[in-house]
Amino acid sequence: MPNNKCKNQGNKNKEVTMKPSNEKDTPIQDYEDDDIEEMQEADLKNLIRTLRSSQKQILQQQKSLMDKIENLSRENEILRRNQNETKQLVQQETVVVTEVKNSIDQMKATTESLTNRMGEAEERISDLEDREQERIQSDQRKEEEIRNLKHTVGNLQDTIKKPNIRVLGVPEGMEREKGLEGLFGEILAKNFPGLEKDREILVQEAHRTPNKHDQKRSSPRHIVIKLSTVKHKEKILKCAREKRQITLRGSPIRLTANFSSETLQARREWRDIAQVLRENNCQPRILYPAKLSFVNEGEIKTFHSKQKLKEFVATRPALQKMLKDVLHTETKKHGHQYERR
């Protein structure tokens, strides 16, 4: 027995003091089989507890490692999926970028084509505008030539018709007994006894106008009397203006100068203005061939066109107030005529 005690004590001296089992960093002591046999029961229990605690820690660490591995696996899978998705997105974006580049190239080509077409169209438009301008200028020249020709023809007609007198209101058929020249002599004898004795007044020609009688026309055709001189025509018309009321066999008639249709229209356009001037004692007269004459501030003013009259009226407030309505009406008439054209 003493020997066993000595052995036990020796073994006790050989034992290494163990740390508490709850410390994770405590290393597990390596024991030989002989040492385990010589341990006491309490030491064995402590050893078993230490081993179980270490086993539990190992299991926990193993479980923790497995969890980490699983988490890493999941994260790796997620990363792999994200990588695949990223690759797909990159591929899709690459396709989109390629399509966009192709579209941009097509748009550039289309834009370049459109630019070229626009350039060609602009050149054509410029050519057309030049041609149109040339056509307008040509039309304007032609219109000016036509106006000049009409004016020349009107002047020729007025010159030819200058010694003529136009008789209005003589019923159709009245000339059957005496003829037109005889009727004109009767007009002079009944209305101007002094002129009827003037042997110098000679009628060269007399006819109705138009030549053909329209049965649907209610008013009789005019009679044109061609005299030998303009002086005789002016003398007769002056007497007609002074007498004012001229008759033939009890019917009222009129004696006027014989003008071209253009000159007659130009004279008619002065009528409304002349009427207003007459109402204001301005002594208006329509002179040959189509000029307006009237008295303003003691002076006789003569105008060949309404534009000249408007320019003059603009400098005379009283006259402007007098003719404001009639000139405004004339302007509106010309505007409507221009729109109809």
Tens of pLDDT, residue by residue over 7-38, are: 444 444 444 444 444 444 444 455 555 565 56
Q: How far is CA 300 from CA 57, 99, 180, 269, 324, in A?
A: 138, 88, 39, 20, 20
Whether residue 251 sits in one domain with residue 218: yes
Listed range (148-162, 292-306, 315-329) with the worst mean pLDDT: 148-162
Domain's final residue, options 242, 258, 274: 258
**Cα–Cα dist 200/26, whole Å:** 167
pLDDT digits (tens, 9 = 90+) for 285-312: 888 778 899 999 889 999 988 888 999 9
Structure token pair of residue 38: 């010589």
DSSP 256: E
Whether residue 267 sits in one domain with residue 254: no
**Cα–Cα dist 80/76, whole Å:** 6
Residue 17 pLDDT: 41
Residue 1 pLDDT: 42
- φ/ψ of 249, rounded to 5, equals 55, 40
DSSP 218: S
Domain's final residue, options 237, 258, 279: 258
122 lies in some domain: no
Q: What is the mean pLDDT of residues 313-340?
A: 72
CATH number, position 300: 3.30.250.20
Whether residue 206 sits in one domain with residue 181: yes
Q: Across the chain, what does the average pLDDT equal? A: 79
34 lies in some domain: no
pLDDT digits (tens, 9 = 90+) for 92-108: 888 888 888 898 988 88
In the chain, the number of structural domains is 2
Helix (H) or strand (E) holding 67: helix 41-161
Give the range of the structural domain holding residue 185, as residue numbers without chain letter: 162-258
177 lies in some domain: yes
Neighbours of 202 (CB within 10 A): 12
Residue 333 pLDDT: 53
Whether residue 232 sits in one domain with residue 282: no
208 lies in some domain: yes
Residue 6 pLDDT: 40
